[in-house]
Amino acid sequence: MIHQKFIFETPASITIQQHILQDQQRFPGASGEFSFLLSAITLATKKIQAKVRSAGLIDILGAHGVENVQGEIQQKLDVYANEAMIHCLASRPSVGVLASEENEQPLVMPHLSPSAKYAVVFDPLDGSSNIDVNVSVGTTFSIFRRPDGADFEDPNAWVLQPGNKQISAGYVVYGSSTVMVYTVGNGVHGFTLDPNVGAYVLSHENMKMPEQGSCYSVNEAYANNFPPEYGAFIQSLRDGALGHSYKSRYIGSLVADFHRTLLRGGIFMYPPNKTHSEGKLRLLYEANPIAMIAEQAGGRATDSNQRILDIKPTGVHQRCPLIVGSKLEMEAFEKLCQ
């Protein structure tokens, strides 16, 4: 009996939907609501990437003119990306509250479904100031379970939870390809969008951050205002204190700078500076999802005093210093800070 040779010699592609459903099987009796929620995020990011990819061709570049809650001029793609995330997530009855970098207050979903059990926090298009110069940008997201007793009167209660309460977190980096990286707390997996079929396909299974890298990433223009431990640490890297020399890479787009750190190892830092005494990055929708991914991949993330994931938020848009990276560099930095 001659076995039929398979047409496709390569292993079968697993799409993110299949992967989520496989993961769901670990929880007998799972309702599938969470998987359906994640599919809203994958759909929204496919819409966003389509606009990002054609930004130069259609009238979507440039500022939208309105100032957002951060006091930043909203780029048109920011507005589109925010609408896409809200539209896709609002159609999921399991989602009760949304918080976005682009909205001053959290949004209560109009369905007010008593069965809503999740809140989603996101930055629809992080690094958007880079859009007009064709530098990679990204979407970040963080998913919380509705706290016991939380109702729709107090949406802040749904989202002002420490990062260690995230049930899922991730990002999409719109770079040379569109890659979605996410975790549900049992490892980190990456999926590359196959434009031919419009599906995210598993490309980086069980991602692990190298224990040491050869690159540090910080905006050295602010070095004169860094707290002393940051400058001393960077100098130690330059002096080969960790066993080899380091190169510097800084894109100015958090998701892109972190994605490189996840893949290659090393350390990313956004310290306090003259303009931002608490650092520029936001805890809820930048530091928290990045920190969960980093820790799930074997790395670490602190604000120089404590784990990012242990910080109890007091405001949706609060900022924090972010130091995230490989075990060895992070241990060396933390030792310096003591």
The contact set with ligand P6P (CB under 6 A) reads 126-127, 129, 219, 252-254, 257, 280
Q: Is 129 exposed, middle or buried (0-12, 13-18, 19+ CB in 10 A)?
A: middle
Q: Least distance to ligand P6P from the beta carbon of 310, Å?
A: 22
18 versus 129: smaller Cβ distance to ligand P6P: 129
Contact 299, 187 (CB under 8 A): no
Q: Least distance to ligand P6P from the beta carbon of 162, Å?
A: 21
Which amino acid is residue 83, in one-letter code? Answer: E
Contact 164, 310 (CB under 8 A): yes
68 versus 94: smaller Cβ distance to ligand P6P: 68
112 versus 223: smaller Cβ distance to ligand P6P: 223
CA–CA distances in Å: residue 309 to residues 47, 80, 249, 270: 30, 30, 25, 16
The pairing of beta strand 118-126 with beta strand 95-100:
parallel
First to last CA, the chain: 70
Contact 96, 144 (CB under 8 A): no
214 versus 253: smaller Cβ distance to ligand P6P: 253
Q: Which residue from 141, 162, 172 is spatially nearest to 253, judged by alpha carbons? A: 172
36 versus 222: smaller Cβ distance to ligand P6P: 222
Quote the tokens at residue 124. Answer: 């629809």
Q: Least distance to ligand P6P from the beta carbon of 307, Å?
A: 20
Q: Least distance to ligand P6P from the beta carbon of 141, Å?
A: 15
**What DSSP designation does 225 have?**
G
Q: Least distance to ligand P6P from the beta carbon of 111, Å?
A: 32
Q: Least distance to ligand P6P from the beta carbon of 279, Å?
A: 10
> Which residues neighbour 230 within 8 Å (Cβ) at sequence distance 6 or greater?
218, 223, 269, 271
Q: CA-CA distance, 74 to 113, in Å (whole number)? A: 31
Q: What is the 3-state secondary structure (H, E, C) of 11-26?
A: CCCCEHHHHHHHHHCC
95 versus 179: smaller Cβ distance to ligand P6P: 179
Q: Least distance to ligand P6P from the beta carbon of 70, Å?
A: 9
129 versus 156: smaller Cβ distance to ligand P6P: 129
Question: φ and ψ at 275, to 5 degrees?
Answer: -80, -35
219 versus 318: smaller Cβ distance to ligand P6P: 219
Q: Least distance to ligand P6P from the beta carbon of 253, Å?
A: 5
Q: Least distance to ligand P6P from the beta carbon of 80, Å?
A: 17
80 versus 171: smaller Cβ distance to ligand P6P: 171
Q: Is 81 exposed, middle or buried (0-12, 13-18, 19+ CB in 10 A)?
A: buried
Q: CA-CA distance, 187 to 299, in Å (whole number)? A: 12
